[in-house]
Structure 1
Amino acid sequence: MRVLVIGGSGFLGRAVVEEALARGHEVTTFNRGRTGVDVPGVEVVRGDRESPEDLERLVDGRTWDFVIDTSGYVPRVVGASARALSGHAGTYAFVSTISALAGFPGKPAGDGAEIWPCEPDAGPEDGNYGVLKAGCERAVEQGFDGNVLIVQPGIILGPYEDVARLPWWLSRIARGGQVLAPGEPDAPMQFVDARDLGIFTLDQAETGTAGRFLVTGPVGQTTFGEWLESCKEATGSDAELVWVDSTFLAEQGAGAFVELPLWGGPPSEETETFWSVPTTKAQAAGLRIRPVAETVRDTWAWLQEIPEKRRNFGNNTTHGIAPEKEAAILEAWGARSE
C-alpha cells in the first residue's frame, strides 16, 4: 500500500514510518526537514504544510491509500491539508489527543465523549492545545472527502521521545544518589508506547476504519513506583528513591507534570480521572500494549546513543527539576521526617 505521513521524522511520526516500512508499504513523508532525519527508504517531499504551493506540489501526480497526520496542531492549517489531500487518498488518519475531550480531566473520558468547541478554521490564538486539537478534528472531518480516522492518545512514551519525560527520569536515575520520587509509589499510571500507537493507527488505516478511538494503556497498567523501579533496572542504577508526600511537594513549590514529569500533583478527582481512561473500543479493535519494562528499556537503549550533555530533546529544556531545587526539597523532607 502507498502511505503518506505528514511529519515522519520525529517521535511518533518516526514510529509510524518504521512500522509502515516493515510492513512493506511505500511511504512518502512530507515535512520541513527541521525536526529530525527521515527514515531511510521513504520518498521525501520537503515542504511546509502552511504553504498552499507546497501542498499543491505534494499532491501533484501522487495518490496514496491513506495518509497519517502526526503533526497537526492548528485547525486552519490542518483543514488546508485535508482539503488538498481530498481525492488523493482513501483515508485520512489524524493523531489528536485525549486533551481534545471537553472538560477532561475534570470530566471523565469515554468513547464517544464530546470534544471542546472550536471552529475548524481557528488559528493558534484561538485556544490551548486541547481545544485546538478538537478544532483540528473538525477540520479533517469537514475538509476531507473520504474515511476519517481520529486517534486520541493519552501520554505517549518510548524511544525518540522529544518531550523529555521518560528520558529525563532515566537520565536522572542513571546519575544515582538520592532521587526525589514524587507522591505515592502506588499512584496509578497509563501511557501508550509510540510504537504501539503507530501499529494501532496503521492497522485501522489499512482497513479503511473511520471514527474516533481513545488510545492509551489499560486502566491499572502500572504505578509510579513500578515505573521508576523499571528505570532503575534498565539503567543498572543504585539510586535511592526517596518518596516525598505530594502535599509537601506542593508546599515546596514543586511543579506537577513538567518539573517532576508525569507527577500529577496532590491527589484529586482530576488526577484520578487522568489515569483511569477507558480504552474499550480500541481494545476491541485490536489495540495491543507492550510491557512497561520494554518501553523503559528500549528508551534507555536509544538514549545511550546521545551524550547526556546533548539531551535537549529538540531544544525542550523545560522538563525536569533543577538539581539544587531537588536537593533542597530532599533536605527539607529529611528534616521534617526526623
Structure 2
Amino acid sequence: MKLLMLGGTEFVGRAITEDALTRGWEVTVFHRGHHTPPPGTSALHGDRTAPSGLAALGTGEWDLVVDTWGGAPTAVRDSSRLLRDRAARYAYVSSRSVYAYPAPAGLAEDATLVEGSPDAGSTDYAEDKRGGELAALDAFGDRALLARAGLILGPYENVGRLPWWLERTARGGPVLAPGPRELPIQYIDVRDLARWTLDAAEAGRAGAYNLVSPSGHTTMGGLLEACAATTGGGAELRWTDPDRLLAAGVEPWTELPVWVPEGEAHDHMHRGDVSKALAAGLTCRPVEETVADTWSWLRSLGGAAPLRPDVPAKGISAEREAALLGL
C-alpha cells in the first residue's frame, strides 16, 4: 500500500504513520516541516493554509490518503479535490463533536449533526470537523471513510490531558480525584485508532464510524489508579463528590482533565454507541497499557510534555487543589 499522510509528525498523524510503516507500507508525509517525521518516510512540504500550499502534491498516486485536519474545512476541500483522481481512498479522522449537543446516551452514527460547510473558513471545532467530513464526501463519495474519534489518549499526546494526570500523580501526596470512582469513561488509545483506521481503509470500508472504546471500558477510578501505580509517586487519590466540585466552580474537562460529571455532557462525551466500529474490528487495549506507555514516552522526553500552541494548558493549580482538599 502507498499511503499519503497529510500531517504525520504529531500525535494522531504520527501514530498512523508509524503503524503504516510497521505494515511495510510506502509512506509519504506531507507537512510544513516544523517537526521531523518518523524514519522510513518520504517527505513533501507545504502549508495547506497558504496560496499554492499544495503544490508539492501536484503529482503522485496513492492507495490511501489519511487526513487529520481540524481547522478550516477549505483545507480538506482543496486537498481532497486535488487528490480524488490520484488516490483510491480518503480517510478523514473526524470527531464525535460533530453530533449536535445535547445528545442522549447511546448516540449512534445516524444521530443529528451540527451544521457545516466544505467551503467555510474556521468557525468552531465541531463545525470545522463536519465541514471537513462534507469535503471528503464531496470529493471521494463512497471511497471516503470518516473516523469519528472520541477522546484520544496515548503516547505523543500534545493536548495535555493524560500527561497532566501522570505528572500530577508523579508528584505524589493527596490528589483531588473527581468522583464517583465508578464513573464510566470513553476514550481511544491513539494506536488503536491508527490500527483500526488503516485496517478499515484497506478493507474498503466507507462512511462514518464512532471510534472510541465502549462506555465503561474503564472508569475514572481505573484511569487515575493506573496513573498512580505507574508513576510510583506515592499519590493518595482523594475521591471527591462531584456536587462539591461543581459548587466550588471547578471546571470539568479542563481543570480536571477527562472528567465530566454525570448528566447531559457525560452522556454526550462518554456514553456513545460504538457497536458499528466493534463489528468492524475495533479492539481497545487495557487502560493500564495506555497509561504505562504514555508515561514511558513522557520520561523519554526528559521534560514537560509538548503542547500544541493553540491548546490552553490543562489542570487545576496546586493552590486551588490544596484549598479544595482542605490542606
TM-score (norm 2): 0.95
Does residue 185 (structure 1) correspond to residue 184 (structure 2)? The answer is no
Residue 153 to residue 94, structure 1, CA distance change in 2 (3 Å): same
TM superposition shift of 1:307:
3.1
Counterpart in the other structure of 1:313: 307
Does residue 176 (structure 1) correspond to residue 196 (structure 2)? The answer is no
Counterpart in the other structure of 2:50: 51
Counterpart in the other structure of 2:18: 18
TM superposition shift of 1:176:
0.1
**How far, CA to CA, are the matches of 1:187 and 1:269 in structure 2?**
14
TM superposition shift of 1:252:
1.6
Counterpart in the other structure of 2:117: 119
TM superposition shift of 1:222:
0.8
Task: Please list every run of 5 or more consecutive structure 1 residues that lacks an aligned counterpart in the other structure.
Answer: none
CA deviation digits over 1:163-210, x for unaligned, max 9?
Answer: 110110000001000001012101111110000000000001112221
Task: Please list every run of 5 or more consecutive structure 2 residues that lacks an aligned counterpart in the other structure.
Answer: none
**Equivalent residues of 1:189, 1:275 under 8 A apart:** yes
- Counterpart residue identity of residue 15, structure 2: A
TM superposition shift of 1:81:
0.8
Counterpart in the other structure of 1:147: 143
Residue 108 to residue 200, structure 1, CA distance change in 2 (3 Å): same
1:165-244 equivalences in 2 (<5 Å):
165-244=161-240
**How far, CA to CA, are the matches of 1:205 and 1:130 in structure 2?**
23
TM superposition shift of 1:253:
1.8
Residue 216 to residue 299, structure 1, CA distance change in 2 (3 Å): same
**How far, CA to CA, are the matches of 1:268 and 1:280 in structure 2?**
22
Q: Secondary structure at the match of 1:66?
A: strand
**How many residue pairs align between the two structures?**
326
TM superposition shift of 1:254:
1.2
Counterpart in the other structure of 1:96: 94
Counterpart in the other structure of 2:292: 297
Does residue 282 (structure 1) correspond to residue 291 (structure 2)? The answer is no
**How far, CA to CA, are the matches of 1:114 and 1:140 in structure 2?**
19
- Counterpart residue identity of residue 314, structure 1: R
Does residue 71 (structure 1) correspond to residue 69 (structure 2)? The answer is yes
Counterpart in the other structure of 1:82: 80
Residue 104 to residue 13, structure 1, CA distance change in 2 (3 Å): farther
CA deviation digits over 1:287-321, x for unaligned, max 9?
Answer: 1111111000100000101234x334234452011
**How far, CA to CA, are the matches of 2:55 and 2:308 in structure 1?**
29
Q: Secondary structure at the match of 1:54?
A: coil
**Equivalent residues of 1:86, 1:146 under 8 A apart:** no
Residue 104 to residue 2, structure 1, CA distance change in 2 (3 Å): farther
TM superposition shift of 1:86:
1.3
Counterpart in the other structure of 1:38: 37
Residue 104 to residue 5, structure 1, CA distance change in 2 (3 Å): farther
**Equivalent residues of 1:86, 1:145 under 8 A apart:** no
- Counterpart residue identity of residue 163, structure 1: V
**How far, CA to CA, are the matches of 2:287 and 2:54 in structure 1?**
39
**Equivalent residues of 1:66, 1:205 under 8 A apart:** yes
- Counterpart residue identity of residue 112, structure 1: D
**Equivalent residues of 1:76, 1:121 under 8 A apart:** yes
CA deviation digits over 1:53-87, x for unaligned, max 9?
Answer: 23132132x10001000124221121011111111
**Equivalent residues of 1:92, 1:146 under 8 A apart:** no
TM-score (norm 1): 0.92
TM superposition shift of 1:272:
3.2
**How far, CA to CA, are the matches of 1:152 and 1:145 in structure 2?**
17
Quick one: percent identity of the two aligned structures? 43
Q: CA RMSD in A?
A: 1.7
- Greater CA deviation, 278-287 or 316-325? 316-325
- Counterpart residue identity of residue 61, structure 2: T
CA deviation digits over 1:314-335, x for unaligned, max 9?
Answer: 344520111111111111xx7x
**Equivalent residues of 2:46, 2:55 under 8 A apart:** no
**How far, CA to CA, are the matches of 2:157 and 2:103 in structure 1?**
23
Q: Paired residue for 1:256, among 247, 252, 255?
A: 252
CA deviation digits over 1:214-271, x for unaligned, max 9?
Answer: 1100122111011111111111221111111111112222111011101114x31331
Q: Secondary structure at the match of 1:124?
A: coil
**How far, CA to CA, are the matches of 2:247 and 2:102 in structure 1?**
25
